[in-house]
Amino acid sequence: MLVLAMDYTVRQLARLAGVSVRTLHYYDRIGLLKPRQRNINGYRLYSEEAILPLQQILFFRELGFSLGDIREIMGRPDFDAVSALESHRALLLKRAERLSELIETVDRTIQQLQGEGDMDIRDYYKGFSDEQIEAYRQEVRERWGQDTLEKSEERVREMGKEGFAAVQAEGGAIFQAIADNMNKGPDSPEVQEQVTKWRQWLENFQSYSDEAVLGLGQMYSQDPRFAEFFSKYGEGFPAFLTEAIGQYCKNRE
């Protein structure tokens, strides 16, 4: 069966490509994209073969090339459409990455202007006194360095007040679930499931090695400041939590 190739009028091609008719007229005039023919009324007709070159032109324009440069590039004997598309893709991915960074910057700026991102870092340590906060921050500096402390607190600020409140609530729910299952033992599946969630929850603040996780778990009962804080979940909870975290780390060995 004979299949006839479809022709497009200039208006149809313009609508298909999302450009103006005037743009296609101009591309024709400068020799960048010529119609296949003109009908008896003088109207331009484009074949399906014009779609790919037009796509190439639009990609080049999006990437900032001038029409003169595009005409020169596409007019070369060694011009390869597949290689050009691969190049377009790489450049567009870089642009997307850059745009993503700019969007994050804008979002942070909006949060700050709306009063959401300008968090007092004391909100991070809710439940601790100012003296306890500074003592804890100093211990973080000594254990993991000033850079770790700054990155962790910056993550908190970027959450905004609502985001941080949600993270706090999630952490509280995990600790409460551990407390509710204390009678089943620190190595029980129920408790270990919650400790696993706790480990994932920690990533909201910074990335911890297994060694750091074990050290943090020990601090929860051995450091009087943490022990006092976690005692609100029940008698013996700080020691139980330390043991459960220790069991979690042992299981990962």
32-81 residue pLDDT tens: 888 888 887 778 889 888 888 898 898 888 888 888 888 888 888 888 88
The mean per-residue pLDDT over the stretch 94-107 comes to 76
| Residues 131 and 59 reside in one and the same domain | no
Q: Alpha carbon 195 to chain centroid distance? A: 25
| Residues 94 and 147 reside in one and the same domain | no
| Residues 46 and 106 reside in one and the same domain | no
| Residues 105 and 46 reside in one and the same domain | no
- Of 23, 2, 1, 161, nearest to 10 (Cα)? 23
Query: What gap in Å lies between CA 151 and CA 164, rounded to an integer?
Result: 15
pLDDT value, residue 2: 36
The mean per-residue pLDDT over the stretch 154-159 comes to 73
Query: What gap in Å lies between CA 212 and CA 201, rounded to an integer?
Result: 14
Residues near 248 by beta carbon (within 8 Å), at least 6 away in sequence: 192, 195, 196, 199, 213, 217
| Residues 227 and 106 reside in one and the same domain | no
Specify if 1 maps to a domain.
no
The mean per-residue pLDDT over the stretch 239-246 comes to 93
Number of structural domains the chain divides into? 3
The region of weakest confidence among 34-48, 77-91, 152-166, 194-208 is 152-166
Of the chain, the percentage scoring pLDDT greater than 70 comes to 81
Query: What gap in Å lies between CA 124 and CA 37, rounded to an integer?
Result: 70
* H or E segment to which residue 136 belongs: helix 130-144
| Residues 216 and 168 reside in one and the same domain | yes
Q: How many residues does the chain have?
A: 253
- Of 57, 104, 105, 109, nearest to 79 (Cα)? 57
212: which DSSP letter? H
115: left (phi over 0), alpha (psi -120 to 50) or beta: left
Specify if 2 maps to a domain.
no
At position 203, the amino acid (one-letter code) is: E
Q: Which carries the bigger pLDDT value, residue 3 or residue 97?
A: 97
Provide the CB-side half-sphere exposure for 46 (13 A, CA). 25
Query: What gap in Å lies between CA 174 and CA 169, rounded to an integer?
Result: 9
Residue 31 near residue 71 (C-beta atoms within 8 A): yes
The region of weakest confidence among 19-33, 144-158, 190-204 is 144-158
pLDDT value, residue 1: 37
pLDDT value, residue 6: 72
* Domain boundaries, position 178: 121-251
- Of 217, 113, 111, nearest to 227 (Cα)? 217
Q: How many CB atoms lie within 10 A of CB 206?
A: 17
| Residues 73 and 86 reside in one and the same domain | no
The average confidence (pLDDT) of the chain is 81
